[in-house]
Structure 1
Amino acid sequence: MKKTLVIFAHPDVEHGSIANRIILSHLSKMAGVEIRDLHKMYPDFKIDRQKEQKALLGADLIIFQFPFYWYSTPGILKQWQDEVLTYGFAYGSAGNKLDCKEFVVSTTIGGPAESYCSEGFNNFTVDELLKPLEQMANLAGMKFNRPIISHNMIYIPDVYNKADEVAARAEEHAKKLVAFIEEKSC
Structure 2
Amino acid sequence: MADSEVLILFAHPALQNSRVNKVLIEAVMEVEGVTVHDLYEEYPDFAIDVKKEQSLLLAHSFILFHHPLFWYSTPALLKEWQDLVLQHGWAYGHDGTALRGKKFFAVLTTGGSESAYQKEGYNRFTIRELLAPIEQTWYLCGIEFLPPFVVHGTLNMKKEEILRHATEYRRVMEAITTNTFPFHKTVGLSRLNQDLESLFT
TM-score normalised per structure 1: 0.89
SS in 2 for 1:69: coil
Query: Structure 2: 5+ residue runs without aligned partners?
Result: 182-201
1:152 matched residue in structure 2: 153
Query: Structure 1: 5+ residue runs without aligned partners?
Result: 155-160
Cα offset, 1:170, TM superposition: 3.4
Cα offset, 1:89, TM superposition: 1.0
Cα offset, 1:178, TM superposition: 2.2
Highest relative contact order (Cα 8 Å, sep 6+), 1 or 2? 1
1:35-69 CA-to-partner distances (Å, cap 9, x unmatched) read: 11110000001111011001101111111111111
The AA in structure 2 aligned to 1:89 is W
Aligned counterparts of 1:116 and 1:180: Cα–Cα separation in 2: 28
On the 8 A contact 1:150/1:169 being kept in 2, the answer is: no
SS in 2 for 1:104: strand
Q: Pairwise mapping of residues 157-176 of structure 1 onto structure 2 (< 5 A)? A: 161-165=156-160, 167-175=162-170
1:112-163 CA-to-partner distances (Å, cap 9, x unmatched) read: 0111111111111111001111111111000111111110123xxxxxx154
1:65-98 CA-to-partner distances (Å, cap 9, x unmatched) read: 1111100111100000000001011101110000
SS in 2 for 1:18: coil
The AA in structure 2 aligned to 1:29 is E
On the 8 A contact 1:8/1:64 being kept in 2, the answer is: yes
The AA in structure 1 aligned to 2:79 is K
Aligned counterparts of 1:66 and 1:144: Cα–Cα separation in 2: 17
Runs of 4+ in 1 over 4 A off after TM superposition: 183-186
1:5 matched residue in structure 2: 7
Cα offset, 1:182, TM superposition: 3.6
Aligned counterparts of 1:111 and 1:172: Cα–Cα separation in 2: 21
SS in 1 for 2:118: coil
SS in 2 for 1:99: coil
Aligned counterparts of 2:177 and 2:125: Cα–Cα separation in 1: 31
Cα offset, 1:167, TM superposition: 2.1
Cα offset, 1:165, TM superposition: 4.7
1:130 matched residue in structure 2: 131
Q: Pairwise mapping of residues 1-186 of structure 1 onto structure 2 (< 5 A)? A: 2-13=4-15, 15-154=16-155, 161-165=156-160, 167-175=162-170, 177-179=172-174, 181-182=176-177, 184=179
2:187 matched residue in structure 1: none
Aligned counterparts of 1:49 and 1:27: Cα–Cα separation in 2: 25
Aligned counterparts of 1:139 and 1:165: Cα–Cα separation in 2: 40
SS in 2 for 1:64: strand
On the 8 A contact 2:53/2:85 being kept in 1, the answer is: yes
On the 8 A contact 1:110/1:153 being kept in 2, the answer is: yes
TM-score normalised per structure 2: 0.82
On the 8 A contact 2:31/2:170 being kept in 1, the answer is: no
SS in 1 for 2:165: helix
Alpha-carbon RMSD? 1.9
Cα offset, 1:171, TM superposition: 2.2
Q: How many residues align?
A: 179
Aligned counterparts of 1:98 and 1:182: Cα–Cα separation in 2: 19
